[in-house]
Structure 1
Amino acid sequence: MKQTDLGESPYSGPILDMKRIRQFMVLAQTLNFRRAAERLHMAQPPLTVSIQKLESDLGVRLFERGGAGGVTLTVAGQAALVEARRLLFHNSQLIATVQATAAGTGGCLRIGFVGSTTHGVLQRIVRQFRADFPAVQLVLKEATSVQIADRVERGELDVGLVRTPLMASAQVRLKPLLTERFVAAVPLGNALTAHAELRMDMLAGEPFVFYTRGDAAGLQAMAMLACQQAGFLPRIAQEATQVQTVLSLVESGLGVALVPSIMQNSPNPGVAYRAIHDIAPAADIGLALLVPEMANPAVPGFQEAALKCFAVG
């Protein structure tokens, strides 16, 4: 059977007027045309006509008429009353949901996040947002910063928590949340763990677990810059995209790595973290909120929650 362009059901019966459904409900409750008309703040004759029109649309009698405007529900009327209650409830729910979504206090918000935000950043923002907007449903999707930027631009995600610098081109806005420096991640047992703090040149002779140039281009560029400004090119033994994967490879003893300082919040048992006192400030990295030009109405609330938790400078 052919459907319309909007994809609705091929049902071709009468379209019920919600105003008439409400009038039917009041008459079913009062069982008297006069009292129902008074409650509805209308004259009795138009109410009588409206109920007759509803019965005509349905093709059944809903009421048996009595004297002095009194009525009783027919069997069909009793069945209609059950469904009318459901219909009015869902109608009010529809209105409330649509209005809340348009206002940014309801609906669904799809959030993309990089894995390193799960070490304290994402949790704090989500807790704050849920406290401020409990009716908004959150859908969380982990991806790389480049992937998140692409999906936000294509409308598959509403907002993103990404690593900066972001090596991507997209019609989006970046709202910086925090700035970090790299720390050294060193496998336990490595001689470097004997030092409380390191210099960059102390890493020059070590094999490195590095970031890939594709999906982790920002971290890769900043880590490479830090090494080059210290006067050496890193000897790359392994590459990975996610920071947590890099740390797993460090824990396996495959090399050292430069990782965001926030990773120290959830230490890996086989990794020691050491501050690097002379790392170049030009190699600073950060986390930012990525927002499309045409944003979901719930995005400003999420941005406000994020800025409550973190503010650069």
Structure 2
Amino acid sequence: MSEPVEFRHLEYLVAINEGKNFTRAAEKMYRSQPAISQQIRGLESDIGFPIFLRQGRDGVTPTPAGELVLSWARTVLEERREVFAIARAIHKGEVPTLRLGFSSFVNPTLLTTFRQCYSDLFPKCEVVFSGGDSALIVQRLESNALDCGILPCPIDSKTLDVITVAHSQLVVCMRTDDPLALHMQLDIHEVAPRIRVFRDPELHPSAHAHLVNLFAEVGIPISLANSVTNPADIQWMVKEKYGLALVDQALPLESGLTTRPIAGVNWSAQTAFVASKNSQHIALPFVQRFLRQEGLTVQRKRPRGVRPLPKQLELLG
């Protein structure tokens, strides 16, 4: 290619495809039909293949290669619209506060990382946090009382968009003076009878069901002796010798506690960013795009996943 593809070319392509001919596209774009035709023929000559098949009175249809270009053009034009809409809102101070719900079982480092990323993406735009159990946060998302949330997986809702943003190994939490702490890894069959502290199943039924399945896969029933509503209570019960617990490897531990991995299993805790599919918050498309590319597991000085679009775009090299 010798010339860059400009936004106007993409607009012409989408208009032609929607109208199925050049004349209707020209009327929509307030240009003459010959001018539009000349622009597209020049573009096709430059890239080396036809985008449309001309079928006379039957109009035009995209070629297979043209379908790919059109899909890309629609994405670019939509991203441009979103970029200028959010930039205009930032300039006018009209970006609404982002209301984010979270579970106490989410690693607090993820919340800090999210706030930093959001601030980098949208300078001087506010995010407020609201804690609660997963079921409550999902209800508030579905009723639009919250814009988004960061919750442990699995998420049971067909009305929410779910993006997994972090994975962390499940490990056994114990006292530092426990004889098990002398081992580098633990045998699940030997340690299972002592794992007796669990999150209350009613707080996140699908997560508890997933845990039951993990134990069942290795032939061990869960012994639900003690249930808690937050990580602090889990650690208190372990310190008071009510039993051992499975926790997120990244969970900050109180003094007197330690963790050990389980040999031979690959059990992990997953955390997701969730938002209502009907949410109208102007920042969410950018946040979701960034999180799909970057996740939340690594601290960064500057998000790299969402960037302002250039004025001109090179097409297919």
Q: TM-score surpassing 0.5?
A: yes
Unaligned runs of 5+ in 2: 1-84, 298-317
Q: 2:198 aligns with which of 198, 210, 219?
A: 210
Q: Does 1:240 align with 2:224?
A: no
Q: Does 1:250 align with 2:250?
A: no
Q: How many residues align?
A: 212
Q: Does 1:269 align with 2:255?
A: yes
Q: Residue type of the partner of 1:300? A: P
The aligned counterpart of 1:176 is 164
The structure whose Rg is larger is 1
Q: Residue type of the partner of 2:124? A: A
The change in CA–CA distance for 1:272 and 1:98 in structure 2 (over 3 A counts) is closer
| 1:98 Cα deviation from its structure 2 partner | 12
The change in CA–CA distance for 1:120 and 1:105 in structure 2 (over 3 A counts) is farther
**TM-score by structure 2 length?**
0.60
Judge conservation of contact 2:197–2:238 (CA < 8 Å) in 1. yes
Q: Give CA-to-partner distance per residue, 1:155-175, whole Å, 9 cap, x none.
A: 110001011112x33511111
The aligned counterpart of 1:113 is 102
The aligned counterpart of 2:284 is 299
Q: 2:127 aligns with which of 138, 145, 167?
A: 138
Q: Residue type of the partner of 1:237? A: A
Q: Residue type of the partner of 2:257? A: V
Judge conservation of contact 1:124–1:309 (CA < 8 Å) in 2. no
The aligned counterpart of 1:219 is 207
The change in CA–CA distance for 1:98 and 1:123 in structure 2 (over 3 A counts) is closer
SS in 2 for 1:127: helix
Q: CA RMSD in A?
A: 2.9
Q: Residue type of the partner of 2:272? A: A
Judge conservation of contact 1:182–1:285 (CA < 8 Å) in 2. yes
SS in 1 for 2:224: strand
SS in 1 for 2:201: coil
Q: Give CA-to-partner distance per residue, 1:16-56, whole Å, 9 cap, x none.
A: xxxxxxxxxxxxxxxxxxxxxxxxxxxxxxxxxxxxxxxxx
SS in 2 for 1:121: helix
Matched residues in 1 for 2:118 and 2:198: separation?
Answer: 34
Judge conservation of contact 2:95–2:282 (CA < 8 Å) in 1. no
Matched residues in 1 for 2:160 and 2:92: separation?
Answer: 22
The aligned counterpart of 1:151 is 140
| 1:118 Cα deviation from its structure 2 partner | 4.1
Judge conservation of contact 1:113–1:161 (CA < 8 Å) in 2. yes
SS in 1 for 2:250: helix
Q: Give CA-to-partner distance per residue, 1:254-308, whole Å, 9 cap, x none.
A: 1101112221xx22212211011222x4x54301111111221122233345446
